[in-house]
A and B are shown apart, each in its own frame.
Chain A
């Protein structure tokens, strides 16, 4: 990353992209479950970094990946908010919008859809906390740093996310 920043080294940038794209695509998808949108988010984040590499402050001690999670998460939130205003869709609607027919969904893994829907119904910050800590495997400290909150606040979000999931999944046939 330092080579990208100081020398505009395209080779180094390519290595960075090859190494991290899948990981951040998954993170973006979990925030906004639409393949095309998740790809756009990751592409936008990397191109932003390429155009303005100085936005990463290497002296702030944050790991590049931690910092980049923040960029991807913020872009996903922006996208979700913009889309909410125009469409008002929830997670499942997005999955259906994702080029899949009802028949496809019937045949797809029902459980995966139910869980996806339950997670997407969580409030935004609880969903981010859950995604970062459970799915991305980040420590509470790293997740708190990404969300710009304290560790205690993050733990509280996680607790509420768990309770919210309990409610959202209640009564679902498994």
Chain B
């Protein structure tokens, strides 16, 4: 038949077009080739770091009050632990309090 009324049969005709199967195992070829190739670009560590920092800051902003509070508490505990190092040389709190009166005396008072 003559194809004059293509509008009518267009879809039918276009579907006659075929794509032959791939000749090779292309997926395997690509994966193998990619293993042999080193990635030339470096991962954008700076970008990742900036994104992580932004995410962290955003996470502190409301509406995440529970997280904000827990982070503040955690920071407080860390700072507290560092300031605790002042008394770490003493065996007990009593030693620390008595520190001021603790001195060597090796003679008479008078």
Residues of A within 8 A of B (CB): 6-8, 10, 13-14, 17-18, 21-22, 25-26, 29-30, 35-36, 39, 42-43, 46-47, 50-54, 109, 111-112, 114-116, 119, 130, 134-135, 162, 165-166, 169-174
Residues of B within 8 A of A (CB): 1-4, 6-7, 10-11, 13-14, 16-20, 22-24, 26-27, 29-31, 33-35, 37, 39-41, 43-44, 48
Closest to A13 in B: B34
> In the bound complex, what is the Cα–Cα distance between A87 and B67 (angstroms)?
67
* Contact in complex: A50, B14 (CB < 8 Å): no
> In the bound complex, what is the Cα–Cα distance between A49 and B27 (angstroms)?
14
A42-B30, A46-B30, A112-B16 known; A171 vs B41 contact (CB < 8 Å): no
A22-B22, A52-B40, A52-B41 known; A169 vs B13 contact (CB < 8 Å): yes
Extra contacts, 14 of them, besides A10-B34, A111-B13 (Cβ < 8 A), are A8-B39, A10-B35, A21-B26, A30-B17, A39-B24, A43-B26, A115-B14, A162-B7, A162-B10, A166-B7, A170-B3, A171-B2, A171-B3, A174-B3
Partner of B20, one of A10, A35, A53: A35
Instruction: With both chains docked as a complex, state the minimum distance between the C-beta of A172 and any C-beta of chain B, in angstroms.
Output: 6
> In the bound complex, what is the Cα–Cα distance between A135 and B37 (angstroms)?
33
Closest to B6 in A: A166
- On chain B, the residues within 8 Å of A43 by CB distance are 26, 29-30, 33
> In the bound complex, what is the Cα–Cα distance between A171 and B4 (angstroms)?
8
A6-B48, A21-B30, A162-B6 known; A111 vs B19 contact (CB < 8 Å): no
Those 3 A-B pairs whose CB atoms lie nearest each other, nearest first = A166-B6, A111-B16, A50-B34
> In the bound complex, what is the Cα–Cα distance between A43 and B3 (angstroms)?
38
Sample of 23 A–B contacts (CB below 8 Å): A6-B43, A6-B48, A8-B43, A21-B22, A21-B26, A21-B30, A30-B19, A35-B22, A39-B22, A39-B24, A50-B39, A51-B41, A53-B39, A54-B41, A54-B44, A111-B13, A115-B13, A130-B14, A166-B7, A169-B6, A170-B2, A173-B2, A174-B1
- On chain B, the residues within 8 Å of A50 by CB distance are 34, 37, 39
Partner of B17, one of A10, A135, A162: A135
- On chain B, the residues within 8 Å of A13 by CB distance are 31, 34
A8-B39, A171-B2 known; A39 vs B34 contact (CB < 8 Å): no
> In the bound complex, what is the Cα–Cα distance between A169 and B17 (angstroms)?
13
* Contact in complex: A116, B17 (CB < 8 Å): yes
Closest to A49 in B: B34
- On chain B, the residues within 8 Å of A7 by CB distance are 43
* Contact in complex: B37, A51 (CB < 8 Å): yes
A109-B16, A116-B17, A171-B2 known; A53 vs B41 contact (CB < 8 Å): yes
